[in-house]
Structure 1
């Protein structure tokens, strides 16, 4: 069994003391990371699904790297719409830390045990919503054709399904249908994970010929209120997701959150 921790939407600033809605993103990330460190057993992999920084600042990536190093866990860092696809891979490399996306190599593949992990780039430079390029979709199909017997997890930043928030669904993945049409043809795909929505979402997504477990994970900082037509901050605590991946393709998952008394947002702040 493989144990995978998904952390997402960390939003570190160049300024260590900067905050989103009253929450210092550095402090909330460090608190979540401490929870991961205390897990027994420790995860085999960490997957960070984007928006690692808020401002794409070099100092933010360096602090992220320095925080991850002591864990000594293979960590794969994906890009979100707030990230810099050129700067990120220049810093997040080495000491078991890997940039899964870059401007020159947008997608990457790893294998652990009998599981395949496919990390896609959904970032559109200068845009909040996302897109899987024609090249990325072709690459995805190629990997799936090559490893047809291998249980597969697919990860990228922007949600590939509506999560029930009209405003968030309008800035999700643009070409969701194209993605799921490919997934429909490959029954080895067991799970897809995204970030961006700052909330927990869990669905067994059924396509014509397939069914895939689909998860979105809470942010390590602020949370967005579920099932709202307009943007709202939620008072729920930062968190992360654990996924247990079994050799037969079965998946079990739990969402872990910090104590509710920690890192309460300032709900009087307006706008996003």
Structure 2
């Protein structure tokens, strides 16, 4: 099982805890085939750039970025090449996994570079990050294959000395929006049963829902983050666009297995956002 190396720990004077890693979680970029195109009225590439700029303006500096799917809306060479250029400029190691709009094969061929990785596992000091592929080819809903479930269990078994953060695209718990929950992880019960067998499994991070979530399931903290483009209205029975701006989540992993996390957003919504749309 491959690893992109180890990230060392630093001291966090404000918390008096040892920080193992500071993670920038960004998700659901929906890059389009051509620069300048819009989705729901939003130029998604510019919105992504604005979120990254917002993160770069803060004194908090990440050790790595975790990108949890729907990196592109149109899975083609041009969209992934432009995304790669944007990520290379981030000057931080970026770990990517696919969403239902992505092409995992193209991602693996086009994205990897010196600082962009498509890797199932990241080994840190006292923590590991396990990146799972929950996509079903040609379908918007998600499922973890037997191979992905074995990867999860092997990673948790072989590195029982490390706390675990597990990343995937599809939400493994209901969001409360009926239309979105038709695309919940199909075998979420099987996934969650495995995680509950290992007390060192501590955090699950996901995208797909285009909104912030922070829930607890047993020992697990389950976290979703805003999209870098448009947001879905929480607890809505039908497709609806929310008036919350794009954003990102910051996560700090501590050596004692605890975490701190929060969400930061742009000051304004993207120009042109179509609030009356019934889908995309």
TM-score normalized with structure 2 length:
0.90
What whole-Å deviation, never above 9, does each CA across 1:136-164 have from its counterpart, x for those lacking one? 11121111111112111000100010011
Map of 1:24 onto structure 2: 43
**1:81 correspondence with 2:100:** yes
**1:246 correspondence with 2:254:** yes
Q: CA deviation at 1:41?
A: 3.2
Say whether the 8 Å CA contact 1:32–1:240 is kept in structure 2. Answer: yes
Separation (CA, whole Å) in 2 of partners of 1:38 and 1:69: 18
Separation (CA, whole Å) in 1 of partners of 2:24 and 2:68: 11
Map of 2:30 onto structure 1: 11
Map of 1:227 onto structure 2: 235
Separation (CA, whole Å) in 2 of partners of 1:154 and 1:93: 21
- 5+ residue gaps in structure 2? 1-18
**1:182 correspondence with 2:194:** yes
Map of 2:88 onto structure 1: 69
- 5+ residue gaps in structure 1? 101-107
Separation (CA, whole Å) in 1 of partners of 2:22 and 2:262: 11
Say whether the 8 Å CA contact 1:238–1:263 is kept in structure 2. Answer: no
**1:151 correspondence with 2:163:** yes
Say whether the 8 Å CA contact 1:237–1:264 is kept in structure 2. Answer: no
**What secondary structure sits across from 1:86 in the alignment?**
helix
Query: How many residues align structurally?
Result: 261
What whole-Å deviation, never above 9, does each CA across 1:131-190 have from its counterpart, x for those lacking one? 001111112111111111211100010001001111111112100000011011000011
Say whether the 8 Å CA contact 2:240–2:276 is kept in structure 1. Answer: no
Separation (CA, whole Å) in 2 of partners of 1:266 and 1:245: 37
**What secondary structure sits across from 2:129 in the alignment?**
strand
**What secondary structure sits across from 1:143 in the alignment?**
helix
Map of 1:44 onto structure 2: 63
Separation (CA, whole Å) in 1 of partners of 2:41 and 2:279: 14
Map of 2:220 onto structure 1: 212
**What secondary structure sits across from 1:271 in the alignment?**
coil
Q: CA deviation at 1:113?
A: 1.9
Say whether the 8 Å CA contact 2:241–2:276 is kept in structure 1. Answer: no
Q: CA deviation at 1:268?
A: 2.6
List 4+ stretches of structure 1 deviating above 3 A: 261-264
Separation (CA, whole Å) in 2 of partners of 1:41 and 1:168: 33
Q: CA deviation at 1:262?
A: 4.2
Map of 1:103 onto structure 2: none
Separation (CA, whole Å) in 1 of partners of 2:210 and 2:160: 32
Map of 2:205 onto structure 1: 193
Output aligned runs, 1:121-160, within 5 Å: 121-160=133-172
Separation (CA, whole Å) in 2 of partners of 1:224 and 1:71: 27
TM-score normalized with structure 1 length:
0.93
Q: CA deviation at 1:260?
A: 2.6
Q: CA deviation at 1:261?
A: 5.0
Say whether the 8 Å CA contact 1:51–1:82 is kept in structure 2. Answer: yes
Say whether the 8 Å CA contact 1:235–1:264 is kept in structure 2. Answer: no
Stretch deviating more after TM superposition (31-40 or 9-18): 31-40
Say whether the 8 Å CA contact 1:28–1:263 is kept in structure 2. Answer: no
Q: 1:239 to 1:263 in 2, by over 3 A?
A: farther
